[in-house]
Amino acid sequence: MSGRIEELQLMKRGNELFWSVIFSMRATVNAQFYWLFLMHYMRRTFLSIRPALLDNALYFPDNATAYTAAPTRNILQRWEWKF
């Protein structure tokens, strides 16, 4: 991952949860970056802040195509997240 994440904020609006990320350097969001982000930041953040969310459905309303990449699909399937 080029650069590092300086700040990760989770925000709740109604029943939806949003996140905001600030990077120390510019980075291209590709499948590998997205996988690392999920592995190293999102899951740990959910576990520490809202562990119940990991047992419920999560919806990622974005236009990224990372879900089609094998590494991202594999990690989401391992966590039993539907996509």
11, 5, 7: which is closest to 50 by C-alpha? 11
Please report the pLDDT score of residue 14 as a whole number: 72
Residue by residue, pLDDT tens for the chain (83 residues) are 455 656 666 666 776 666 666 666 666 667 777 777 777 777 777 777 767 766 665 555 555 554 566 777 787 788 777 66
Please report the pLDDT score of residue 1 as a whole number: 45
83, 37, 80, 42: which is closest to 60 by C-alpha? 83
- The dihedrals phi and psi of 16, each to the nearest 5 degrees, come to -105, 145
pTM, two decimal places: 0.38
Please report the pLDDT score of residue 74 as a whole number: 80
Q: Structural domain boundaries of the chain?
A: 5-78
